[in-house]
Amino acid sequence: MRLDYLMVTLSLAAAGARVVEVSAVGLILIIGGLIVIALEFVHPGAFLLIPGTVVLASGVIFLVAPAALSSSPIGPLVVALVAVAAALITIPWYRRMGAVHRPMTTTPESLTGERGLVIAPVVPDQLSGKVRIHSEVWSARSDRPIPAGTQVRVQGGQGVAVWVQPIDPDAPKTAS
């Protein structure tokens, strides 16, 4: 169940049952809405802004017209209309905030010239070697064995692997 529906439903139930003062319900909704909106800013992209706005708007309505919402059968309809309006206002804001560029992708070929560190030994003609380049781990190939811990430079890419050579010129070479 979505958070905004749960909070509005519980608030309406509490107000209808006269368990809590309606103005207290409005304050609880406003505080809950602000907390949900704050969570969106802490963790962007979680799409919490819409439910937070809906809950916040519902709380404001409870503060402005508490008697009309708690004693009238139209109360839930008003809250629902305010929720829809808040969502319709918030959705375009999300679209403006959204990425306008394509997501970045890294391919083995785009790493040519980058430095890396061998974390699993590279063996010629095998794909068992692993290299850390920046924060990513890539399968590595080479024409010579390269032990773990060796600094390498990417010479190119092949499939899903990078082709690497040791930066140290004294690295062992395979016998031809």
Q: What is the mean pLDDT of residues 145-157?
A: 94
Residue 56: predicted pLDDT: 84
Residue 23: predicted pLDDT: 72
**Helix, strand, coil percentages for the chain (3-state, nearest 5):** 50, 20, 35
Residue 176: predicted pLDDT: 38
Sign of CA dihedral 45, 51, 56, 60: positive
Q: Please count the residues of the chain.
A: 176
Tell if the pTM clears 0.75, that is, is over it. Answer: no
Answer yes or no: are the C-beta atoms of 127 and 139 closer than 8 Å. Answer: yes
- Report all structural domains of the chain as residue ranges with CATH numbers, in order of start: 3-97 (no CATH), 108-166 (2.40.50.140)
Sign of CA dihedral 111, 115, 120, 121: positive
Strand pairing of 129-133 and 115-120? antiparallel
Residues in contact with 52: Cβ distance below 8 Å, sequence separation at least 6, in sequence order: 4, 33, 34, 35, 36, 37, 39, 40
Strand pairing of 136-141 and 151-158? unpaired
Name the more confident of 168 and 121.
121
Q: What is the pLDDT of residues 43-87, one digit of tens each?
A: 776 678 888 888 888 888 778 777 767 677 777 787 788 778 877
